[in-house]
Amino acid sequence: MDNGASSYRRFLDGDDAGMEELIRNYKDGLTLYLNSFLNDFHIAEDCVQDTFIRLAIKKPKYRGDSSFKTWLYTIGRNTALAFLRRHRRRNDLVIDECEMLAAEEDLERDYLKEEQRITVRRAIRSLKPDDQQVLYLTYFEGFSYAEAAVIMQKSRKQIENLLYNAKKRLKSALEKEGFHYDEL
């Protein structure tokens, strides 16, 4: 699954079913995300509706710099922030709301990091079992090459070669998903 990019492309090519798929697949999650910092479910629903209307009318270009879901949630977030700017004067913000908006940037950063982790884990799962094992042992569990060699019943040199080739294959798998390897 390409996280909705193909549905959006179909919609742009004139197939309204593509937009229906996007709404069906992302409406609930986007509503919950926007509600997490708007603290008003009805306003969050309105912002989600405005987000999909913006997609339908303005048809912004999806460049593939991130996953489609990340791109869509960014548009939704911007729509919600624009709503807040329009409907609240600066003086009306309570200190808690200001802190919440500042913390919202951390939420977005955490969300993007989680998206990256999911992409990396999905790419690792697409590799051969030995590649998965050596990457998991050395990077996630922090084992040395010698320790990984003992666990995998291989020589240290075999682990070094296996790890080198596994990283190349992982890079290739990540690039296929639109992930830039230098972000690791």
pLDDT in single tens digits along all 184 residues of the chain: 466 888 888 888 998 898 999 999 999 988 888 887 687 889 999 999 999 999 999 998 888 877 888 888 888 888 988 898 888 754 454 555 555 655 666 777 777 778 777 888 788 888 887 888 788 778 877 778 888 787 777 899 999 999 999 999 988 888 887 776 554 4
Which residue type is seen at 9? R
CB 33 within 8 A of CB 73: yes
Closest CA to 137 of 123, 127, 151: 151
Q: Which sign, positive or negative, has the C-alpha torsion 119, 124, 126, 127?
A: positive
Q: In one letter, which amino acid is 84? A: L
Give, to the nearest 10 degrees, the angle between helix 16-38 and helix 68-87: 50
Q: How far apart are CA 182 and CA 125, in angstroms?
A: 20
Predicted local confidence at residue 143, as pLDDT: 77
Instruction: Return d(Cα 55, Cα 8) in angstroms, integer.
Output: 9
Q: What pTM, to 2 d.p., does this model score? A: 0.49
The pLDDT value given to residue 184: 46
CA–CA distances in Å: residue 128 to residues 104, 162, 163, 170 = 38, 11, 12, 10
How far CA 40 is from CA of 37, 44, 56, 182, in Å, comes to: 8, 6, 24, 39
Q: Which one-letter amino acid corresponds to residue 1?
A: M
As a whole number of angstroms, the distance between CA 135 and CA 142 comes to 10
Decide if 80 contacts 34 (C-beta within 8 A).
Answer: yes
* Residue 172 half-sphere exposure toward CB, CA atoms < 13 A: 8
Which phi and psi angles does 93 have, rounded to 5°?
A: -75, 130
Rounded to 10°, the helix 41-58/5-12 angle is 50
